[in-house]
Each structure stands twice: as C-alpha cells, then as structure tokens.
C-alpha cells in the first residue's frame, strides 16, 4: 500500500485502486495462460453465472498470513478464491470460485476461511450455493492447515444437504480430498477436456497398478458422465455449462422451506396427447423412446434430464406441468428394455431424495419388466442397491403420482412407487400389464406339470399363457382390486396429471419422530 493519504477522497481513491488490483488478478500473462487452456478467468465465469451487475464480493481484500517456503513474499488479494453473492433470474445465489491464476487455485487457511464464511451465509440466508471449481487441491506449503480447511467445507456441505441446493461446477482439475466436496453436493457439472476429478492421479495409478492412463481417461467429463455417474451434466464449453446452471437454478426452490418457482404456462392444461397412442406400442415387447412420451406430456416439451448418459435404462427429469415444477422418474424401454439394475436404482433413488428434499412433486411412469437378472447383479448387491430406491420412495412426503403405461412386473412394480408403498394416486393405461411376472414365465411355473404331461407341450403352453393373461393380466385386474385408482385414456394423461397434482398441492405428511433413518448403502 502507498503512504496514508491525507484526505477522504484520497483514501477512497486508494480503495478503488486496491479493488481494481484484486479484480484484475495477478497479471495479464496469467490471464492469457488461462485463456490459452480454453478456460475463462474467474471473473468472467461469475459474470456468466449471475445477472449482470448483481455480484457483491465478500472478503475481496483477504490475504493469507502463512510464512515459509517463500509464501511471505507472495500475498495476493483474494488468496485464490472469489466469494460473494448475486442474482440468477432475480433470485439470490451465493457463489465461490477458484482463481487458478493464484497458487493454481490451491486451498490454504485464508482461502478456506473465505469459503467457510460464504457457505455459512448461504445456509443462514436460505439461498442456493454454487461452487466454480478450478483448483490444484490443498496448498502444500501450508501443510495440515489446508487439510483442516477441507474438513470445514465437507462439514458445511453435509449440514447444507437437503436444506439449500448445492451445485458444483467443475471447470478445471479437482484431485484428492478436494473431490469429496462436489460428491457431497446435489448436482455436478463438468466441461469436456478442461475438467477432471479423481482421488489419485495418473502418476500414482501407474506407480501402484502399472496402468497408463491420461487425466481425461481417468477422471474426465465423459468418464464421470457415462461410467462413474459422478457428473450429472457435461458440456463442451464453459459458456454453455454456466447457462445450464442458470436454467437448473430457475426450477429449484431457494431452500427446503419453499416450493419451486412457478411460471405462467401457455401450454393448455387440457391439451389432448393423441400422439401417445402412436408413440407407445401396445405390444409390450416392442421398444419405444420414453423421453418422447415425457416431452409430449410436459409444458412445451421442455425438460432437463439428470444423468442423461449414466444408467440410461431409467430417466430422471425435471420439467413443468401447467407451470409447476415436477420430477419425473420413468423406465426407458429403449435401454435394457427398461429393467432396473444397480446403477438405475441408485440414480433414481438419489433423484427421488433430491425432489423430496426440495418440495418437488414426483410423477413416475412405469414400463418395467423387472430387475436385471445375473450373477454380476446379485454379487454386486442388487438387493442392497434396489432397496435404496424403495427406501427413497417410501420416505418421500411430496405429492406422488404414478402411471403404468405397459408392463409392471414383480418387485420392480412395487419399487417404482406403487400404491402399496405410498403413492398418493395411481393410474394405468388400457395397455397395462401388472403382474408378478410375464405371462410366459408365469405359465411355465404355474402349469409346469400340465405342460410336461401334454401330448403337445407347446400347444398346451400357448393355451395356458392365454388363460393366465385372461385371468390375471387383463388391463382392469388391478383396478378391480383397488390397486390403481383409475384406468385412463392415454390422450388424457397430461390433463389428469395436472388436475391430480393441483389437488395434492396442499398435501401434508409427517414422518415418525427420529434423528434420521438408516437407509441401505
């Protein structure tokens, strides 16, 4: 700093000079190096995320107090992280963003204290928290103090879970313990080529296992979007990524005490969906695209799919019906015939929990032949993982409406929000088949002796299949027994869902008094 100025105007001028120095960052060369990697600077990212001119920085003049290893000679303002709040579509959002130009975005004691403060502010204000991650992990020169800083972040991530939406945007490297903070948040966004996440890097992997792998091959965006399931969304560039973060925030409530923001829809609530009669074949063995069904039902065909590239046999979608936000869980017959397996169960369970935490009503569309059989699935814990989805639905208190389009067999039917586990209202199309298993498999079990003893076993099997279908799998069997509330015309599905959800809008349900449940892991 310069010598103390003698008047107020001089001091204000000095303040503006310091702010400008902090805003510019370490140097133009550092900024050019960031751009050369295809990455935006920290201020450019915040400007894209927040409404223009709305950002209010917190502790922009903070500097570290560490000594040793030359740190006392290098004390830049912000200490490598920019924190504050602003507006997204006019609603308050808190943000912290690593500045890779300063210490590679590495976390030190002062850096961590700034993040802790902004997280505490977000929790207290009841507003979403977005982290823009581009850091090299713990600041090695500060030793255990840096590690303790991560612990404080993890503790706050956990305290904020289910209270305010937490969104992690990966815009650079995130290695070691630092990767656990995004894993604790509600949504993870990644950008191809420039963002990576892993616990141990390629060099360590090669030293321990002998396997050679690149950073992107180990923990790049496509790996986490399609293989590990760590990333919910992946984009080609930062601008498109941050625009989608803004869109996601527009359909989420500020906190768990509020409902999601509604809009006035120009899509008529009573619009007939005649196209559904052609989109969904009556033959349960023919595949179709469930995404097209959802697009036909929701307002203007607009939806945001969560985990689009992971566990593709189940769809998890945020959309609107008559301007009201809903979460849609649906089997996808185009992928593995829509069966439930380990990954699909985990994906849907987490989505159901998120919707329940933030007061988003659930619509479940069933066309499920069962759980995926196989040694790998059983040894991998399909019982334990499938129970996660069952637990999530049973524990959910938001409005829950389910529709059986075609097949709904066995335990998978029960798990996919059947009436027996607490769905508020259940509907079925005239093409529904609700049963313990498919007619062919059931006939082989029930009529095994008759088929074996017949002169023509195949003819007997065919006859028994038809008999089983006629007795136990006709479209009105479940309705006759009160297991579905109504059989509806597919073309009326949109209107029926909107009217049912409007009726359930004031639903109130209390869970038993307890510290917390003990869900399957």
| The pLDDT value given to residue 175 | 83
Question: How many whole angstroms separate alpha carbon 412 and alpha carbon 410?
Answer: 5
**3 confidence band (pLDDT: 50, 70, 90):** low
**273 confidence band (pLDDT: 50, 70, 90):** very high
User: Is residue 176 among the annotated active site residues?
Assistant: yes
Catalytic pick from 357, 387, 412, 479? 412
**66 confidence band (pLDDT: 50, 70, 90):** low
Residue 374: Cβ-neighbour burial (10 angstroms; 0-12, 13-18, 19+) = exposed
User: Is residue 177 among the annotated active site residues?
Assistant: yes
| The pLDDT value given to residue 475 | 79
**444 confidence band (pLDDT: 50, 70, 90):** low
Q: Which backbone phi and psi does 24 adopt, to 5 degrees?
A: -70, -30
Question: How many whole angstroms separate alpha carbon 521 and alpha carbon 507?
Answer: 29
| The pLDDT value given to residue 152 | 93
HSE-CB for 235 with a 13 A CA cutoff = 16
Question: How many whole angstroms separate alpha carbon 420 and alpha carbon 407?
Answer: 17
User: Is residue 412 among the annotated active site residues?
Assistant: yes
**158 confidence band (pLDDT: 50, 70, 90):** very high
Considering only 224-238, 379-393, 400-414, 446-460, which range has the smallest mean pLDDT?
446-460
Average pLDDT over residues 417-423: 95
How much is the mean pLDDT over the chain? 90
| The pLDDT value given to residue 211 | 87
Structure-block tokens of residue 510: 């209390």
| The pLDDT value given to residue 237 | 96
Catalytic pick from 60, 143, 176, 441? 176
Each residue of 446-483: pLDDT tens digit? 777 777 777 777 777 777 777 777 676 677 888 888 88
Question: How many whole angstroms separate alpha carbon 352 and alpha carbon 329?
Answer: 8
DSSP state of 365: E
Catalytic pick from 229, 411, 422, 441? 411
pLDDT of residue 5 exceeding 60:
no
| The pLDDT value given to residue 426 | 97
Number of neighbours of residue 275 by Cβ within 10 angstroms = 14
Q: pTM for this one?
A: 0.92
Question: Which of helix, strand or coil describes residue 196?
Answer: strand
Catalytic pick from 60, 152, 177, 201? 177
pLDDT of residue 509 exceeding 70:
yes
């Amino acid at each position: 700093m310069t010598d103390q100025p003698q008047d107020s105007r001089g001091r204000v001028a000095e303040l503006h000079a310091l702010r400008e120095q902090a805003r510019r960052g370490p140097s133009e060369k550092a900024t050019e190096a960031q751009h050369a990697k295809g990455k935006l600077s920290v201020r450019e990212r915040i400007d894209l995320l927040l409404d223009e001119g709305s950002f209010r920085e917190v502790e922009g003049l903070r500097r570290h107090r560490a000594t040793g290893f030359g740190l006392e000679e290098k004390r830049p303002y912000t200490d490598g992280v920019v924190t504050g709040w602003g507006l997204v579509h006019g609603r308050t959002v808190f943000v912290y963003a690593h500045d890779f130009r300063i210490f590679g975005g590495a976390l030190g004691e002062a850096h961590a204290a700034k993040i802790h403060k902004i997280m505490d502010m977000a929790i207290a204000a009841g507003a979403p928290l977005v982290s823009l991650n581009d850091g090299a992990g713990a600041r090695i020169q500060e030793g255990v103090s840096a590690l303790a800083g991560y612990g404080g972040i993890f503790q706050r991530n956990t305290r904020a879970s289910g209270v305010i939406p937490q969104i992690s945007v990966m815009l650079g490297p995130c290695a070691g313990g630092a990767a656990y903070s995004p894993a604790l948040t509600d949504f993870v966004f990644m950008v191809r080529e420039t963002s990576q996440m892993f616990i141990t890097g390629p060099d360590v992997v090669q030293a321990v296992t002998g396997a050679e792998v690149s950073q992107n091959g180990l923990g790049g965006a496509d790996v986490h979007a399609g293989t590990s399931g760590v990333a919910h969304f992946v984009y080609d560039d930062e601008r498109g990524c941050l625009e989608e973060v803004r869109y996601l925030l527009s359909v989420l409530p500020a906190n768990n005490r509020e409902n999601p923001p509604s809009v006035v829809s120009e899509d008529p609530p009573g619009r007939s969906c005649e196209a559904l009669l052609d989109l969904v074949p009556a033959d349960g063995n023919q595949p179709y695209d469930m995404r097209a069904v959802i697009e036909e039902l929701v307002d203007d065909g607009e939806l945001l799919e969560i985990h689009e590239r992971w566990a593709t046999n189940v769809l998890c979608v945020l959309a609107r019906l008559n301007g009201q936000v809903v979460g849609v869980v649906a089997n996808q017959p185009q992928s593995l015939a829509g069966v439930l397996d380990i990954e699909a169960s985990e994906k849907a369970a987490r989505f159901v929990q998120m919707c329940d935490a933030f007061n988003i009503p659930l619509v479940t569309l069933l066309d499920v032949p069962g759980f995926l059989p196989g040694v790998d699935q059983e040894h991998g814990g399909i019982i334990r993982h499938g129970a996660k989805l069952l637990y999530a639905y049973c524990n959910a208190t938001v409005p829950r409406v389910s529709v059986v389009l075609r097949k709904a067999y066995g335990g998978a039917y029960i798990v996919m929000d059947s009436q027996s586990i607490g769905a508020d209202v259940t509907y079925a199309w005239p093409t529904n088949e609700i049963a313990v298993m498919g007619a062919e498999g059931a006939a082989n079990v029930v009529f095994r002796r008759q088929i074996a003893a017949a002169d023509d076993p195949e003819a007997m099997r065919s006859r028994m299949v038809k008999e089983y279908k006629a007795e136990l799998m006709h479209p009105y069997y479940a309705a006759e027994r009160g297991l579905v509330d109504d059989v509806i015309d597919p073309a009326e599905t949109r209107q029926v869902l909107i009217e049912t959800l409007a009726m359930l809008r004031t639903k109130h349900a209390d869970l038993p008094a307890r510290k917390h449940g003990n869900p399957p892991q």
